[in-house]
Amino acid sequence: MQNQSRRVAIIGGQRIPFVRSFREYSRTTNQEMLIATLRGLVKKCNLEGRMLGDVSLGAVMTSSIEWNLAREVVQGSGLDAHTPAFNVQRACGTSLETVNLIALKIAVGQIDSGIAGGSDTNSDLPIMVQRALAWKLIDINNAKSFGERLSKILRIRPSDLKPAYPGIVEPRTGLSMGQHTERMVKEWKISRQEQDQLAYESHVKAARAYQEGFYNDLVTPFKNATRDTIVRGDTTLEKLAKLKPVFDKSEAGTMTAGNSTAFTDGASAVLLGSEEFARQNNLPVQAYFKDAEAAAVDYVQGAGLLMAPTIAVARMLRRHNLTLQDFDFYEIHEAFAGQVLSTLKAWESAEYCRKVLGLEKALGAIDRSKMNVKGGSLALGHPFGATGARTVATLAKLLHQKGSGRGLISICTGGGMGVVAILER
């Protein structure tokens, strides 16, 4: 951030276990998951009854019934009820954007402290009625007589009763995120083996992180969910190789349930503050928020749907005069193994960097041993609105453990956007 008046401290994160959809949290709402998460964070940081400057939360698949989600969550969180809150939605970049907004408010001195976070549940989708039925119901309600009402009721057709709910499909192309990514992996010539290898490594790293105790600090208020359930310590490349392609079912298809994220339910949040706030409250600073950037691609005209982080990262590096190699950690959201690999290949391509990013040469390769070192979304799961805060919390913890350094976060989103950020210590 340029002209930043003060540094923004990341004090710590909290999340509930991320679980496969339609299982442990199948009767749990976004609001309940977020309340549980914030309660955990509030307790961990001794903030019970305290008023914070602001709270920003969001979910992608949220119901209009939860129109004031963030404020409702704050009221159930144990914070002072005078703490304000607001909702944000930027698809899978939602909670990285909430972190950005809270950080900006702290940086310019509007607030001293705040919580950012998000959640999502595919088990509790906002199921609505078809528009046609909604309009007929309004007409019935406005009918002036019993006869008129009856005639309007009789206009309801069985097809009107089909439920309507959001899907993982881009409305402007009619293709799912997976189908779009199949196009990207074909364009970038990413093999099935490369994708399975990346997925395998994500599970191995996450399982190792569990053994090391890195994820021992999850808050587990729901008795039936005590740990992340998607990570598989027993995955092998042979098992992954046997899975059938799901988005392009022909022989050319390379994307499977093993190298794509599973539908996931979960929530996460991060506490941010000025250095003064951290000091006054005896809260150790894990890392500092340096900057964030968002970009978008015109996927309707043929750009790769999930390639926008390549643009956002290039802009942010230029602003700070950094190279892609100037990082100790890379937290790259693994929506699909093929999308991560397409992004890495694009940064390595002189032609792409010249034509799309306007650079003289390629950004180059990253040291893959520094990428998603505690596992990524393929192994940990991807509750859309929660992934950003999970990556911020993970990276802040890694920088804290290391004692110094810099980390890059890169998240691709539906609608062809990318949200990225730099943390440092």
In the complex, the smallest distance separating the C-beta of residue 118 from ligand ACO, rounded to whole angstroms, is 13
From 45, 203, 333, 412, the catalytic residue: 412
Nearest to 131 by CA among 152, 162, 106: 162
335 part of the interface to ligand ACO, by CB under 6 A: yes
Q: Which is nearer to ligand ACO, 261 or 342 (CB)?
A: 261
Q: Which is nearer to ligand ACO, 53 or 383 (CB)?
A: 383
Judge whether 45 counts as a catalytic residue: no
In the complex, the smallest distance separating the C-beta of residue 152 from ligand ACO, rounded to whole angstroms, is 39
Neighbours of 170 (CB within 10 A): 18
178 part of the interface to ligand ACO, by CB under 6 A: yes
According to CB under 6 A, which one of 52, 69, 240, 357 is a site residue for ligand ACO? 240
Q: Which is nearer to ligand ACO, 296 or 359 (CB)?
A: 296
In the complex, the smallest distance separating the C-beta of residue 60 from ligand ACO, rounded to whole angstroms, is 9
Which one of the spans 152-160, 239-247, 340-348, 350-358 is the region binding ligand ACO (CB under 6 A)?
239-247
The first and second tokens of residue 128, run together, are 């609505």
Q: What is the largest CA-CA distance in the chain?
A: 76
Cβ-contact 291, 41 below 8 angstroms: no
Cβ-contact 412, 87 below 8 angstroms: no
Backbone angles phi, psi at 45, to 5 degrees: -100, 15
Judge whether 412 counts as a catalytic residue: yes
Cβ-contact 330, 372 below 8 angstroms: yes
x/- string (CB under 6 A) for ligand ACO, residues 73-102?
-------------------x----------
382 part of the interface to ligand ACO, by CB under 6 A: yes
Q: CA dist 172 to 91, 126, 416, Å?
A: 15, 21, 11
Q: How far apart are CA 78 and CA 312, in angstroms?
A: 37
402 part of the interface to ligand ACO, by CB under 6 A: no
Judge whether 92 counts as a catalytic residue: yes
Of 246-305, binders to ligand ACO (CB under 6 A) are 246, 257-258, 260-263
Q: How far apart are CA 211 and CA 377, in angstroms?
A: 18
Q: For the purposes of burial, counting CB atoms within 10 Å of the CB of 43, is it exposed (0-12), middle (13-18) or buried (19 or more)?
A: middle
Binding site residues, ligand ACO, CB under 6 A:
92, 168, 177-178, 203, 232, 235, 239-240, 243, 246, 257-258, 260-263, 306, 335, 382, 412-414
Q: Which residues are catalytic?
A: 92, 382, 412
